[in-house]
Amino acid sequence: MWIVIRLIVMAIAIISRFIRQFEPAEQDSAGQCNAVPFYQETFLDKEKKTTGFELWYALRTDVPFQLNLENSASAFFKWLGISREFQTGDAAFDQHIYLACDHPVILQNLQQQATARQAIVALLQLPGAKKIWSDGYSLRFTRHCDHESTDADRTLLLQLVHALEPVVATTRQQPVPFFWRYTSIEALVWGLFGYASVTLAEYYLINADYHLDSTAVMQMGLLAGLAMFSFLMLLIVLFLRGSSRSHQIVTESFFLLIMALPVCGIQAVSDINRSQDQATAEMVLVPINGMHSSERRKGPDVYYLYLATPPRLFGVRVPNRIEVTYDIYHKAAIDKQLLLVVKPGRLGLPWYQRMDVYPHNAQLRPR
């Protein structure tokens, strides 16, 4: 059941990333500036003090882009040759502002519009200014400060909106370079992150240990995760090479994948090892000589059985202490036996197919 849930959540995460590109969020106007509605979100800390704001105007370009001050990250990715930045020819602007945009119409407009470049510089040189960006439906300005947006903030951003308005229709008619590449990569990365999240939830809620040697599963899974991480990051870098926005997606992908793929690798090894195992199982009855339960602050309690003289199955020693479910634990007793049905595993990692508790005098029937 859990593997189905993981795959469903992964599919939902992938689909949602595509839908997000075409469905704008609903907006409530916060007021007007020169008769044009503006929108604002105020950032608050735990003490309800203002720590910044996000200001925006409706401007549908269908083109996501970002403008921010040049920083070490953008310089590093340009030096590596992963990102390629458009130069407007305005030396003062090009030296301080990084254009993370791939659409030629918008880039040409910024090259020709001195007023637009002046508005961008004025906004980004404000104390606490973070970025000017577009989600394809609105032009936004993010700033960290102890107050909401001022008339100067709103006027400067509106000036930039007016400078971009003449090219809006043209941008929507011309294909966006790298658009489907960005969307596909984001969908894949967030899908893997969703898969890993459900895996952690499964472990937290069930805390099931299917394999005789969990350490071997973890080692193989981490190696698989490392291989997937290396392959996907190389693919992403090559796929986006030449885009001015590539460093943003590469950085986002790096952190999401480095969190998700170790978990995905371990779970994938476990799933493949068990689901593809067509070998014949071995059964053994082992006397129970101890029991122990452990309470956790959050999540279900953990239950253990201690076995006397655990055997070797498929070359792996059965652990002295086995984690079991609540039902098995409450059927068990020190004078009973634990039935273990073990299969060798498709990847050579023996696992428990089934467990049950039997009386101390029970015997296995010859097959």
C-alpha closest to that of 313 among 335, 339, 275: 339
Picking from 184, 217, 188, the residue whose alpha carbon sits closest to that of residue 203 is: 217
For residues 92 and 128, membership in a common domain is answered with: yes
**Residue 19 forms part of a structural domain:** no
Same domain, 137 and 184: no
Same domain, 81 and 113: yes
Same domain membership, residue 267 and residue 198: yes
Q: How confident is the model at residue 191 (pLDDT cuts 50, 70, 90)?
A: confident
User: Could you give phi then psi for residue 174, rounded to 5 degrees?
Assistant: -105, 135
What's the CA gap between 217 and 220, in Å, rounded? Answer: 5
Considering its fold, how many domains does the chain have in total? Answer: 3
For the stretch 11-62, pLDDT in tens is 776 666 555 555 555 667 888 998 999 999 999 888 889 999 999 998 888 7
Q: Which domain holds residue 147?
A: 25-59+63-173
Q: What is the pLDDT of the chain when averaged over all its residues? A: 84
pLDDT band per the 50, 70, 90 thresholds, residue 343: very high
Whether residue 161 is found in the same domain as residue 218: no
Q: What is the pLDDT of residue 262?
A: 92
pLDDT at 16: 67
Domain boundary among 275, 296, 320: 275
Quote the tokens at residue 329.
């634990």
β 282-294/138-143 pair status: unpaired
The tens digit of pLDDT for each residue in 280-328 reads 999 999 999 999 888 776 667 788 899 988 888 898 888 888 888 888 8
Q: Which amino acid is at 193?
A: F
312: part of which helix (H) or strand (E)? strand 312-313
Sign of CA dihedral 184, 186, 225, 209: negative
147: how many CB neighbours lie within 10 A of its CB? 13
| 29 and 160 belong to one structural domain | yes
Residue 364 lies in a domain: no
Looking at the structure, tell me whether residues 231 and 305 fall in a common domain: no
Does 6 reside within a domain?
A: yes
Q: What are phi and psi of 10, to 5 degrees?
A: -60, -45
| The pLDDT of residue 142 | 95
Check if the beta carbon of residue 42 is closer than 8 Å to that of residue 33. Answer: no
pLDDT, one tens digit per residue, over 77-132 is 776 666 777 788 888 888 888 888 878 888 888 888 888 888 999 999 999 999 99
pLDDT band at 140 (very low <50, low <70, confident <90, very high): very high
